[in-house]
Chain A
Amino acid sequence: MVSIQNLHKKFNKNVVLSGVDLTINEGGIFAVLGPNGSGKTTLIKSILGMVIPNKGDISVLGENIKNNSKYRHKIDYLPQIANFPNNLKVKELIKMIKDLRGNTEADKHLIEVFTLEPFLDKKLGNLSGGTKQKVNIVLAFMFDSPLIILDEPTTGLDPISLIRLKELIQTEKANGKTIIITSHIMSFVEEVSDEIVFLLEGKIYFKGSISELKTKTNQPDFEHAIASILTNNHA
């Protein structure tokens, strides 16, 4: 599905990724974890082509992404911070994205699920953080793409919306899609993900299932397993 070879990226002198090799197979939910500044978002943005790597190759569904924009038709992306043009209405934004990517009917259902009808005629600048995130989720899930990338999807969501989001993720998984998630909420990650990738100082420190991680670190639960990686490396 996604294959990354020897990926290097630095911003000025700040080395963020140094030699990441990663293969993500089709189907299932992958969580990319790591402490703040470990390069999770940079890795995701490299897959999307928003960050241009210094070195290395990335291919998505067999297509090399260098100087390519067509492959993004196959990716749905939920950005970390829901930044939208402030003077657009929610309705107009959805219409615009449809105009750019192709028509879809799935948005109606999603708007219902996240009870966004009352906000459709409001400007994005006047929405609360949580409501913006819901709009963000609608935009990300309304296209039927084989690869879904979610960067901190739980930010600002209320408990009901969080449950709806989890259901949505499970439905998409059942449809055979590949989902890449980053999150700091360990319980969320433990609940949804099939496989995790742990980034540390720009390299992949661990890749495998959660139970493998528990055995490797000798910890009974997931949260402590992650904490033990961090303390052992930064002590």
Chain B
Amino acid sequence: MLKILKYSFYDLMRSRWSYVYLAFYLLLGIVLLFLNNDLSKAVITLMNVIIVLVPLIGTIFGVMYYYNSKEFTELLLAQPLKRSSIFLGQYLGVAISLSMSLILGLGIPFILYGLFKSSAIWDFSLLLITGAFLTFIFTALAFNIALSNENKIKGFGYAILLWLFLAIIYDGIFLMSLIIFEDYPLDKLSLVGTMLNPIDLSRTLILLKLDISALLGYTGAIFKKFFGTNYGLIISFIALAIWVILPIFRIVKKSRKKDF
């Protein structure tokens, strides 16, 4: 698996897109710092961008890489390699190179600005960690979609729909259900609802770490009580890890039965 990972990783490192992605984050980091002139404020703005953009890039890159490397995959399948190592190697190659672009692209400008002397370092690290988690989650979901759809256009369509659902539509439904059932106690439900969507989960996690939960009113207090503690933090990370593990598990299962 490590050999496949190595080749996928090199392949991506040589493609222009990794650099475009890296350059984009470098630029974003510099512009935000320049405009905000303050590390912690830049972190908040950055969160809003990351939460939406990282899943989108992960999804599109994952689907694109799978379909583009079809030839490579077929070549590998005739070699004495396990199917699970071929696909996991490719998946990890994509996810790791994307996470690296994210971490380096944002890390460099913030470090240059004096991150290590600032109190925002923990918030910033949390932001990067959740960003990496989101990359791994959405790349894995994208691989799942691509594995299940031979048709490229369909695969792309489903992938974009998935992103749209989790990034936007889910929130809408969630909010509507809170309004409709407002007569009932909803704190447990909204906690669970947040856990079930990795984007919501990451957003809540960062917001509460940034200590602006006062803006959220009563629900914010409940959320703070849960997510703000170490216990909540650990549970959240476990939930994110499950979001990574389940799709990976399905990649292995699905790839075992597929015809090429």
Contacts and interface: CB of A to CB of B under 8 A. Distances in A.
Interface string B34-75: 000000000000000000000000000000000001111011
B75 A101 contact: no
A71 B80 contact: yes
Nearest to A46: B259
B259 A11 contact: yes
B154 interface: no
A99 B3 CA distance: 8
Contacts of A85: 11, 69, 71-72, 75
A64 interface: no
B71 A83 contact: yes
B7 interface: yes
B72 to A, nearest CB: 4
Contacts of A101: 79-80
A147 B124 CA distance: 57
B147 to A, nearest CB: 14
A50 B80 contact: no
Contact of A96 (B7, B80, B81): B7
A8 B118 CA distance: 66
Contacts of A69: 80-83
B75 A72 contact: no
A55 interface: no
Interface in B64-110: 69-72, 74-83
Which of B7, B76, B80, B83 has the most chain A CB atoms closer than 10 A to its own CB?
B80
Interface string A65-84: 00101111101010100011
Contacts of A67: 256
A75 B77 CA distance: 12
B188 interface: no
A52 B257 CA distance: 7
B20 to A, nearest CB: 16
Contact of B258 (A52, A88, A97): A52
A79 B77 CA distance: 11
A53 to B, nearest CB: 9
Contacts of B80: 69-73, 101
A99 B79 CA distance: 11
B82 A50 contact: no
A150 to B, nearest CB: 12
Given A85-B11, A87-B14, A87-B15, A51 B79 contact: no
Nearest to B257: A52
Nearest to A124: B71
Contacts of B72: 84-85
Given A85-B11, A85-B72, A72 B257 contact: no
A210 interface: no
Which of B14, B71, B78, B82 has the most chain A CB atoms closer than 10 A to its own CB?
B78
A100 interface: yes
Contacts of B231: none
A73 B69 CA distance: 23
Contacts of A84: 71-72, 75
B81 A51 contact: no
A52 B75 CA distance: 17
Contacts of A87: 11, 14-15
Contacts of A71: 80
A44 to B, nearest CB: 10
Contacts of A48: 77-78
- Shortest beta-carbon contacts, A-B, top 7: A83-B71, A72-B80, A85-B72, A77-B78, A73-B80, A51-B259, A50-B260
17 contacts: A11-B259, A45-B260, A50-B78, A50-B259, A69-B83, A70-B80, A71-B80, A72-B81, A79-B75, A83-B74, A85-B75, A87-B11, A96-B7, A97-B75, A97-B79, A100-B79, A101-B79
Given A52-B256, A87-B14, A97-B79, 4 more contacts: A50-B77, A69-B83, A71-B80, A72-B81
